[in-house]
Structure 1
Amino acid sequence: MARDRKPSHHRTRIAAVTSLAVLTLGGSVLAELPAQAAAKPRGHDVSSHQKNVDWRKAKSKGARFVYVKATESTNYKNPYFTQQYNGARRVGIIRGAYHFALPNKSSGKAQASYFVRNGGGWTRDGWTLPPALDIEYNPYSKKKCYGLSKARTVAWIKSFSDEVRRRTGRRPVIYTNSLWWKTCTGNSRAFAATHPLWLAHYSSGPGALPAGWAYWTFWQYANGGSLPGDQNRFNGTLAQLKKFARG
């Protein structure tokens, strides 16, 4: 498996019915989450696996936002990051950067610092999504929780988040799936109130959410489709997506 390709063995494929929930931003109601998310803004996420992306084509197929992999651990940078990140912006796609966490390699603070220095920044321009932390099953070992206890995993995420906030002014979006979160953090509720959820769940509905989160902000629902890379939805309107980007 290539180091820039998200592992696929963790994907949960249980069909579920979505219940109504209220999406808020800064205390104001944004939208109700319907059982069917098909009308919500489409987006995708890419890494160097997608190489040089044809952004005009992606936009013509409906892409309104994208997350681009910037870094992994403290020794890997996506060699296509500039083309992908800047290319999306040039054609009018809202974009953000994400970091693939390897908590067994170095501290959360160290990886957050490396991430922000290499593409994981944020600016209040309405076109830049908050930085995102991709934390999920270990693709390089059978130790799916990276050999860390639940408490150490929670502490690692907190360290990463604190450093991202210190450097950018925003808390990161957390990308994960419910089973990993339950297994490796003990279903921690420590982040739900302050960190947007990017939920990975490959099914007709988002399914159960990790503990504490009442709604998803992004939902990754498939690892292939009409857009390059993984397929996503934003839980709101396009105007709300732009407001979310501005912070």
Structure 2
Amino acid sequence: MRTLISIVAIVAGLSPAPASAAPLPEGSADHFAGSEILKHEGGGVPRTAQSPPTDGKVPGMDVSSHQGDVDWKFAWDKGARFSYVKATEGTHYRNPKFAQQYNGSHDVGMIRGAYHFALPDRSDGVAQANFFVDNGGVWRPDGKTLPPALDVEYNPYGESCYNLNQAAMTTWVKAFSDTVFARTKRHPVIYTSTNWWNKCVGGSVKFGANNPLWIAHYSSTLGPLPVGFDFHTIWQWQAAGVFPGDQNLFNGRFEQLQRIASS
């Protein structure tokens, strides 16, 4: 029998919160962008492997607390021009290194943004979006701030799709995206892998119409894009390399990256 709160949510046109999942393991919390993709889809491109073509593209990076205090001048001198910094996870975790990483990348001249690691079975998309925006997932049309980003990938604690079917996961992602847009006036970038997205979200909603794609695919060539996306904005092509954290390429020139951070 449905609970009263579920019935009220359905009547109101809302998606009820996911059922409570098992308690998080002690000492767990911090997962970086691609941590679970690495486990399920491979260990990344060896540092000695050929890098993807970079002509007309901008190198960048993403970091989390795993990198600690980042030497941003070193990363800049090596060529990184943008960075995504993990801000939050679920509704329980804030990156303790966020200020050093987010402000430090800005201070050295990088265009930077913040991302949220989703745990869709822990709370609904609205709650996690609000937690993210309240704790670093901001947007400023200053030419230096990338749109907020949602990292949605394999479940670190159990079944890959968080025991949600495609319809429920689509509803979760849309609720997160709509809430971020309502609060920041920018649709969030979606970080994911093609395999996970096609299995767990599917294509009933064409997110690519509004949400830029940040695709994780560890190879020197880019594979198929997730269903619902015709274009990628950022490609995370290597899990470790020249810069601290993960290696990324913006699919365009620096002036185009600046426009994304300005409009």
- Report the number of matched residues: 226
Q: Which amino acid in the other structure matches residue 39 of structure 2? A: H
How far apart, in 2, do the equivalents of 1:186 and 1:132 lie? Answer: 19
> 1:214, CA displacement in angstroms?
1.6
Structure 2 residue aligned with 1:92:
109
- Identical residues among aligned pairs (%): 55
Is there any run of 5+ residues in structure 1 with no aligned partner, and where? 16-35
- Indicate the residue corresponding to 1:138 in structure 2: 155
2:118 aligned with 1:101 = yes
**1:9 and 2:39 matched:** yes
Indicate whether 1:234 and 2:261 are aligned: no
Give the Cα separation in 2 of the matches to 1:206 and 1:13. 16
Q: Distance in 2 between matches of 1:80 and 1:99?
A: 14
TM-score normalised by structure 2 residue count? 0.83
Q: How many Å separate the matches in 1 of 2:229 and 2:42? A: 18
Q: Do residues 67 (structure 1) and 94 (structure 2) align?
A: no
Deviation at 1:2, TM superposition (A): 6.3
**Distance in 2 between the 1:14 and 1:105 partners?**
29
**Are 1:162 and 2:182 matched, yes or no?**
no
Residue by residue over 1:46-96, the C-alpha shift from the partner in whole angstroms, topping out at 9 and shown as x without a partner, is 000000000001100011000000000000000000000000000101100
Residues 44 and 238, structure 2, Cα contact 8 Å, conserved in 1: no
Taking the TM superposition and a 5 Å limit, the aligned residue runs for 1:1-247 are 3-5=30-32, 6-7=35-36, 8-11=38-41, 37-39=53-55, 40-141=57-158, 143-247=159-263
* Distance of 2:127 and 2:29 partners within structure 1: 23
RMSD: 1.7
Q: Please state which structure has a larger fraction of its residues in strand.
A: 1
Say whether the 8 Å CA contact 1:43–1:64 is kept in structure 2: yes
State the alpha-carbon separation in 2 of the partners of residues 2 and 73 from structure 1.
9
Largest Rg, 1 or 2: 2
Please state whether the residue corresponding to 1:43 is helix, strand or coil. strand
For 2:118, give the aligned amino acid: A
Cα 1:242/1:186, change in 2 over 3 Å = same
CA distance in structure 1 between the partners assigned to 2:231 and 2:205 by the alignment: 13
Where is the helix percentage greater, Structure 1 or Structure 2? 2
Paired amino acid for 1:129: L
SS in 2 for 1:146: coil
CA contact (8 A) 2:44 2:239 kept: no
Residues 82, 111 of structure 2: 8 Å contact kept: yes
CA contact (8 A) 1:12 1:201 kept: no
